[in-house]
Amino acid sequence: MRARLDELVASRVAEGAAVPALTCYDFTTALAVVAAAETYGRGVTLLVTPKTAAAADGARFTRALRGLADSASVPVVVQLDHATDLDLILATVDAGADAVLADGSKLSFDDNAAFVAHVRDLTHNRGIVIEAELGSIEGDEDRAFAVAAASAGKTNPELVAPYVLLSGAHLLATSVGNVHGKYVGTPELDWPLIDSIRTQSRVPLALHGASGLSDADLRRAISAGLGKININTELRGAILDALTEQLPVSRSNGDDVLAFDARWRDAAYEFALGALGRLSPPADAGTPPESTRAESTPL
């Protein structure tokens, strides 16, 4: 079912939980993520990267995700992630995206806020939720290079309130020691900074680059008000590890594509189910609610 991302995040924060936002480069992964969300009985966000959206079949892929989300029994949001191109943003919204991260983080403060405000003005009458980024999150979204967090790019808490006001953003992505890709050494999130940002923001907060964070860090992040948690690198790794094992088996068994596809779905499903558990309140983390477990359909 369709949902507003900001409202979904706010409701999960009130429950002491967060909404997982998982990057889907293909429909097989998206099917598995939604199946896991339905098993768990909780909402989820399907992230589309700009490279995927800008591909020849990008609009068709987004429309497919839109249909999948609409037919789901739980709230599912389709979001274009880290978009800087206005034409691509509008085309992806036309194709069915519910939300957009209008990324002006490489711009000056004023230009960043103006870009986000422009995107919101152009999409406001369509109910599109706009996420924005203040500060700069290092790394590559699509490739898992090792990245060290850059302190110079962290979110300035003194700018949060004026930025949210000027930009009109519905959610705010934070740079607090998190990176896209793999962390160099042990991740060290800036907890005092997170607390300062939370006191200054009147919109829900997002944490990108959650791959590699410990369960303790994720739980602390949720307690600190980070209600949308983006995960990409770990999901890609889980899928590729499973397919690396499955490929020789499928090739030796008559080029069994169905088994290869099933292994793909299983890997994505199990990862997404685990992510939902890790981002749920401690009381029900780890296992799906009793009311939905019996209704789940194994992939």
Please give the structure tokens belonging to residue 19. 């909404």
Q: Phi and psi (nearest 5°) for 96?
A: 130, 5
The pLDDT of residue 289 is 54
Rounded to a whole number of angstroms, the CA Rg of the chain reads: 18
Do the domain assignments include residue 105? Answer: yes
The pLDDT of residue 253 is 77
pLDDT along the chain (299 residues), means of 10: 96 95 96 97 97 97 98 98 97 98 95 98 96 79 51 85 98 87 73 95 92 89 94 90 84 79 93 94 60 37
The pLDDT of residue 149 is 55
Residue 147 amino acid letter: V
The pLDDT of residue 256 is 74
| 8 Å CB contact between 172 and 201 | yes
| 8 Å CB contact between 90 and 102 | no
Q: For the beta carbon of residue 295, count every other beta carbon within 10 angstroms.
A: 11
Residue 108 amino acid letter: S
The pLDDT of residue 258 is 83
Please give the structure tokens belonging to residue 71. 């037919």
DSSP string, 212-224: T--HHHHHHHHHT
Distance CA 148, CA 187 (A): 9
| 8 Å CB contact between 183 and 212 | yes
* CATH number of the domain where residue 83 is located: 3.20.20.70
Distance CA 145, CA 6 (A): 30
Q: What residues make up the domain containing 101?
A: 5-293
Please give the structure tokens belonging to residue 47. 């992230």
Total structural domains within the chain:
1
| 8 Å CB contact between 90 and 83 | no
Distance CA 117, CA 54 (A): 22
Helices (H), 153-282: 157-167, 191-200, 215-223, 233-252, 257-278
Catalytic residue among 6, 26, 70, 81: 81
Distance CA 97, CA 47 (A): 10
Helices (H), 72-180: 86-95, 109-123, 157-167
Task: Tell me whether residue 81 is one of the annotated catalytic residues.
Answer: yes
Do the domain assignments include residue 284? Answer: yes
Do the domain assignments include residue 299? Answer: no
Do the domain assignments include residue 298? Answer: no
The pLDDT of residue 236 is 86
